[in-house]
Structure 1
């Protein structure tokens, strides 16, 4: 079986996560993360000792944050992203974040019980930015079907 992985990369307007411009966004970390974890189809998310992913800095850049998670299927992630109060933060993202390249998130299928590394996820995002969508890396709008089982 397969499940859906996603990474979202964002460049903050603030100099770092403690910048006052990020205050309202940061205040909602716990509630949004709890909503994700309680959502139907949620499997896993990358988190640090503060129960979020702000401690990970793969670009060595204090203005960039990432979110990496795994979901049972595209529909579950899509529902969480666009049909819960999470969408309010998407609508307001320009208050907290700058534009980040051609693509700021990527989706891809992974085998059950395997969790992606940050390096793999960023490689998928870079692939999507350079080559466009494929079975290797895609977006909600260009999603590929879950792979068939191979025995």
Structure 2
């Protein structure tokens, strides 16, 4: 049985989009969210990730933005 980690690393990225999530400019980004989140969820040692009702964090308001 592996020894539990003495520390855990947490990271949060906050950004303001230059275009709406539904825009063609962000299509590749939006299309990649579910596969990237699935890889994270399945990773050995995965603990937690921020997510809203939509399953990712794109609907979590930050800094007064919608």
Q: TM-score range by the shorter chain?
A: 0.7 to 0.9
Taking a change above 3 Å as real, the CA distance of residues 18 and 60 of structure 1, as seen in their structure-2 partners, is farther
Listed as ranges, the gaps of 5+ residues in structure 1 are 63-151
SS at match of 1:7: coil
- Alpha-carbon deviations, 1:55-93, whole Å to 9, x = none? 11121224xxxxxxxxxxxxxxxxxxxxxxxxxxxxxxx
Q: How far did residue 20 of structure 1 move?
A: 2.0
The one of 7, 13, 17 equivalent to 1:8 is 13
- Alpha-carbon deviations, 1:24-82, whole Å to 9, x = none? 110111100000111122110111121100111121224xxxxxxxxxxxxxxxxxxxx
Q: TM-score, normalised by structure 2?
A: 0.76
- Alpha-carbon deviations, 1:90-130, whole Å to 9, x = none? xxxxxxxxxxxxxxxxxxxxxxxxxxxxxxxxxxxxxxxxx
Q: Which protein has greater RCO, CA pairs closer than 8 Å, 6+ apart?
A: 1
Listed as ranges, the gaps of 5+ residues in structure 2 are 1-5
Spell out structure 1 runs of 4+ moving beyond 4 A. none
Larger helix proportion, structure 1 or 2?
A: 1
- The answer as to 2:20 corresponding to 1:20 is no
